[in-house]
Structure 1
């Protein structure tokens, strides 16, 4: 069945170019009314201009869609709330939030200035928190909402020179996993997209052939699947070059060593067994880890069995 977003209202942050632009164009093509948000800054977050957002709005309108431009800085909660008010005044509801705004300030941790570290966290993590918080009560009242976080392989798996970026992106996974649980009873579905795409943030680190294959438009179908009416929730979807994968944070079966004096030595000696992935699981919630661990304590197991 074709995904139809007619009547839906979407906000896409960082939508003046690259992935955000591709997301906004696809949402509009499928019928959504779109707030195209972009501060219009440089790759490192400096500067600002509404021109980028306005160009994408014009593209959408030329194609027959509805869109409005917005230049809110996602690190400023008052500006984000004004953006949400703008969408509500124009269309009366907000169904979809695509948190895409981001910056890069790559540098090794040893050479990283703490102010730069904090700025990257503020844009990626707190910017997403601000936007999500600003729409959350609206979505609860509607009994419907779709929220997408943009994570990264740099957060999931690490990447040299991106300690602050990776920390922010993995933080978004934790936020997504919790909000997907809290939003479930209101039909608010929250997911994360880990894109591989050629944008101005990757233009100087890839070959021409790779840049062509990694067109942002090949990622956006994954975005659409994660924000449509039939979307899953709590999913980490990786996407790039037309390929899609699911990332999982797993828990191995592990090894019970007890609490003896040599417990640390047993852990060290048993790391290969602890790391053995046969029988690993994907815990549905955080409390599943202590439940699993408690289930291996002999006395507690016996008490549960006899209880």
Structure 2
């Protein structure tokens, strides 16, 4: 098929100064998009903001003949998030897609965390996603077109210890993606998400666990962390942000050279006219069996 191009289109990528976000920004620019590189330039704990990461990515895009501008505001702040979108519209006259990738990597076992860590991650991941999307939404509605690509993580489904604050914030984004997708249909907008498998600054502390849990189906585990390069996640973001993408309300797990769909299903369960706790206890296998499970799509587009 022909190359998926973004000529004359404008894409905002948050957290675009390093890692997965940087790969997204470079990929969009290589396909003709004018890119707003938004990055606060902080460390994984949110400290030491710097304009350098965003500026470096913009410089790299321009060195290859592309168009890009840098923004340095925090997506957790509503006004700063709105300024990111305003920069796109003021500079280029339009906005076609937002890729919500900005985040922090705070973690720790639940007993060792405090409510402040949960609030910080919700502010950046969840409310940051909401803030940027809300700012772009009126432009999308007026254009009867727009793409929102959010960033979740498979740890939101469990499997790794020590990531409860992070996984909780990502799960909130999952719910936001699925529910907003329903409203998006009437306006020609699509809202999807990716779950990247990438070794970055944020995932470094869980590298060994990731290597054990994220091994590909063939069982190969040798030097898995070095194989989890962020560049392998960009194709999913590019596809979901393209105007021809038919998906809405979906989550694509991507990385390690593979891609898969994360779906929500409901088991057939059991049905009783007067259900008791004992009925549940006696029929756990039947309740939990998913052999004949029914998929619960956000929007029936697959």
Q: Does the residue aligned with 1:219 lie in a helix, a strand or coil?
A: helix
* 8 A contact 2:156–2:167 mirrored in 1: yes
Q: Based on CA coordinates, which of the two structures has the bigger radius of gyration?
A: 1
Is 1:250–2:251 an aligned residue pair? Answer: no
1:257–1:267: 8 Å Cα contact kept in structure 2?
A: no
Q: Write out per-residue CA displacement over residues 213-233 of structure 1, whole angstroms, 9 at most, x where no aligned residue.
A: 111111111111111112111
Equivalences, count = 284
Give the conservation status (yes or no) of the 8 Å contact 2:227–2:256: yes
Q: Residue 158 of structure 1 contacts residue 166 of structure 1 at CA under 8 Å; is this kept in 2?
A: no
Equivalent positions of 1:124-163 (< 5 A) are: 124-163=125-164
Aligned to 2:256: 241
Measured on the aligned residues, the alpha-carbon RMSD in Å equals 1.4
Residue 204 of structure 1 and its aligned partner are, at CA, apart by 4.3
Once residues 142 and 205 of structure 1 are traced to their aligned partners in structure 2, the CA distance between those partners, rounded to angstroms, is 42
Query: What corresponds to 2:218 in structure 1?
Result: none
Cα distance between partner residues in 2 of 1:251 and 1:131: 32
Alpha-carbon distance in 1 for matches of 2:117, 2:250: 30
- The residue number in structure 2 matching 1:299 is none
CA displacement 1:155-179 (0-9 Å, x = unmatched): 1234211111111111111111111
Q: Which residue of 2 aligns with 1:282?
A: 295
> Counterparts of 2:244 and 2:158 in 1: how far apart (Å)?
29
Q: Secondary structure at the match of 1:206?
A: helix
Q: Counterpart of 1:12?
A: 13
Between 1 and 2, higher relative CO (CA 8 Å, sep ≥ 6) is seen in 2
Q: Deviations over 1:8-65 (max 9, x none)?
A: 1000000000000000000000011000000010011112011110000000000110
Q: Aligned to 1:183, what secondary structure does the other structure show?
A: helix
Bigger shift: residues 110-119 or 9-18: 110-119
Residue in 1 aligned with 2:216?
A: none
CA distance in 2, matches of 1:94, 1:103: 25
Give me the whole-angstrom Cα distance separating, in 1, the residues matched to 2:142 and 2:159. 38
2:285 matched to which residue of 1?
272
1:131-190 deviations in whole A, cap 9, x for unaligned?
111101110001110001100011123421111111111111111111111011211111
Q: Secondary structure at the match of 1:74?
A: coil
Sort the Cα spacing of 1:37 and 1:115 in 2 relative to 1 into closer, same or farther, 3 A.
Answer: same
Where does residue 41 of structure 2 map in the other structure?
40
The CA deviation at 1:202 is 2.2
Q: Which runs of 5+ in 2 are unaligned?
A: 209-221
Answering whether residue 243 of structure 2 is matched by residue 229 of structure 1, we say yes
- Normalising by structure 1, what TM-score? 0.89
Whole-Å separation in 1 of the counterparts to 2:29 and 2:161? 36
Matched residue, 1:122:
123
| Contact 1:39 1:48 (8 Å CA) reproduced | yes
Alpha-carbon distance in 2 for matches of 1:28, 1:86 = 17
Query: Which deviations, in whole Å up to 9, do the C-alpha atoms of 1:230-257 show, x marking residues without a partner?
Result: 2111111001111101011111111012
